[in-house]
C-alpha cells in the first residue's frame, strides 16, 4: 500500500466525469488499498478516484473505524428524506459548507471480487456516499452548498447565495 497525493480544487481532474471500471485488475485492487491508506492518513471519511488522479468510478468510505466500504462503479438506486449539515472535502482543505443531502441512500456497486452488492447508509454514511459519488461526475460539494463557512464558521457569500439574495429582492 502507498499513500497517494490528494488533488486540490484547482486541479481540472476533479471536474472530469470518470469512466467505469471494465475489469477488476490487480491495479484496481492496489488503487483501493492505496485510497484507504490515503483517506485514513488525511483523517477523511471518504475518497474518490479522481481525488488521487485516477479517473475511474472507484470510491472508498469509512465512517466507522476499521470498516471501510469499497465501491466500484457505484450507483445510487434509492434515497429518502433530507438532512442539512456541514460538509468538507479532502480536496478543499480548510473549507466547509452547508449542504442538503438525502437522509438515507441505497447504493449498488461491485466489490473487489467483481460481485454486485447493495449497501444502505443513513445520516453521515448517506452524506459520504452522495459526496463521493458526486466526485465521479465532476461535482464538488461547493456546487451544492447552500452557503459556505469561513474558518470561524461565519457565512461566506458565494455566487449561489448572491443569486438567492438577488431573487428575494425582486
**Per-residue cell: 29:** 485492487
Cα–Cα dist 48/4, whole Å? 12
Catalytic member of 62, 70, 87, 132? 132
The residues with which 119 forms a beta bridge, in sequence order, are 107
The CA-atom distances, in angstroms, between 48 and each of 14, 54, 56, 78 are 10, 9, 9, 20
**Helical segments of 3-114, H only:** 26-41
> Regarding beta strands 104-110 and 69-80, do their DSSP bridges make them parallel or antiparallel, or are they unpaired?
antiparallel
> Is-catalytic flag, 123?
no
Region for residue 123 given its phi and psi (left: phi exceeds 0; alpha: psi -120 to 50; beta: otherwise): left
Name the nearest CA neighbour of 16 among 57, 60, 46: 57
Report the catalytic residues.
Answer: 132
Amino acid at each position: 500500500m502507498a499513500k497517494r497525493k490528494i488533488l486540490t480544487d484547482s486541479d481540472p481532474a476533479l471536474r472530469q466525469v470518470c469512466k467505469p471500471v471494465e475489469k477488476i485488475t490487480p491495479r484496481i485492487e492496489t488503487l483501493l488499498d492505496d485510497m484507504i491508506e490515503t483517506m485514513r492518513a488525511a483523517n477523511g471519511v471518504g475518497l474518490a478516484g479522481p481525488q488521487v488522479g485516477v479517473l475511474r468510478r472507484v470510491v472508498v468510505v469509512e465512517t466507522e473505524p476499521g470498516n471501510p466500504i469499497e465501491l466500484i462503479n457505484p450507483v445510487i438506486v434509492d434515497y429518502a428524506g433530507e438532512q442539512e449539515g456541514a460538509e468538507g472535502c479532502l480536496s478543499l482543505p480548510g473549507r466547509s459548507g452547508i449542504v442538503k443531502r438525502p437522509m438515507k441512500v441505497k447504493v449498488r456497486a461491485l466489490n473487489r471480487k467483481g460481485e454486485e452488492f447493495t449497501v444502505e447508509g443513513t445520516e453521515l454514511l448517506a452524506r459520504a456516499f452522495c459526496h463521493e459519488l458526486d466526485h465521479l461526475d465532476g461535482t464538488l460539494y461547493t456546487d451544492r452548498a447552500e452557503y459556505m463557512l469561513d474558518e470561524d464558521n461565519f457565512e461566506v457569500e458565494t455566487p449561489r447565495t448572491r443569486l438567492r439574495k438577488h431573487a428575494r429582492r425582486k
